[in-house]
Amino acid sequence: MPSSGKTHLPIEVAPSLSADVILPLRPSRQPLSRQTVIVIGSSTGGTEALRHVLSALPLHMPPILIAQHMPEMFTRSFATRLDSLSKLAVHEAENGEKLQDGTVYIAPGHSHLMIRPAQGVGFVTELSRGDAVNRHRPSVDVLFRSAANVAGRNAIGVLLTGMGRDGANGLLEMRQAGAYNIAQDEASCVVFGMPKEAIALGAAHEILPLQSIANRLVALASQRQASV
């Protein structure tokens, strides 16, 4: 067969970086604030899964931070849509916001979302336009690692439907720091990738169908707040 004369160059694939490129793993023996926080990660199928969970939550909830894999031109309108469907106040996160009960912070599509302590006010948001982690920015692993580092046993982690493994290692780090974690079950996932990887690592305390997650979060938040 005659040669086409074309030279096929190898396709370069960017390396998949870990959360180490954004922040080191330094879990605190004691939470750096008494505040309870909920962190949620999702990807493929996550927009509808988040709508289902958030619309079922009451107003009186701890602050909720979300890393959903989504291009930056859509995250603000996504937050606005969720805000219209939820009793909670939902908005695209900005840098340095004090975490407030009854409020949901959506990671903007251009930045990693993290939690950091601030003297006298508890926890605040932190954004980073650093390298993509697991080829994603925002990355669930980055959000979860920050929760492990500063919130420890005062954090609740949730990993919803999504392709790949982003969030699996971070959920394990949270568990090792004392947090309580939920993974969505296979039957209710659009793609059982991220939760499956986390479950395989032993990162989840519970594996729940989507329709049960909101009620469980209410119960867990109530337990956490009562013990503070």
Would residue 69 show up in a list of annotated catalytic residues for this protein? yes
Q: Which of 33, 69, 86, 141 is catalytic?
A: 69
Q: How far apart are CA 61 and CA 66, in angstroms?
A: 14
Q: How far apart (Å, rounded) are the C-alpha atoms in residues 93 and 115? A: 11
The whole-angstrom separation of Cα 192 and Cα 164 is: 9
Look-up: residue for tokens 């970086």?
17
Integer CA distances (angstroms), 222 to 100, 131, 154, 214, 218, in order: 16, 36, 12, 12, 6
3-class DSSP state for residue 198? helix
Tell me which of 86, 136, 139, 166 is the catalytic residue: 166
- Reply yes or no on whether 16 is catalytic: no
Q: How far is CA 196 from CA 64, 77, 173, in A?
A: 23, 29, 16
**Alpha-carbon distance 142 to 134, whole Å?**
10
Selecting among 33, 43, 86, 128, the annotated active-site residue is 43
Told to judge if 166 belongs to the known catalytic residues of this protein, a careful annotator would answer yes
Looking at this protein, which amino acid is placed at residue 42? S
The residues carrying an active-site annotation are 43, 69, 166
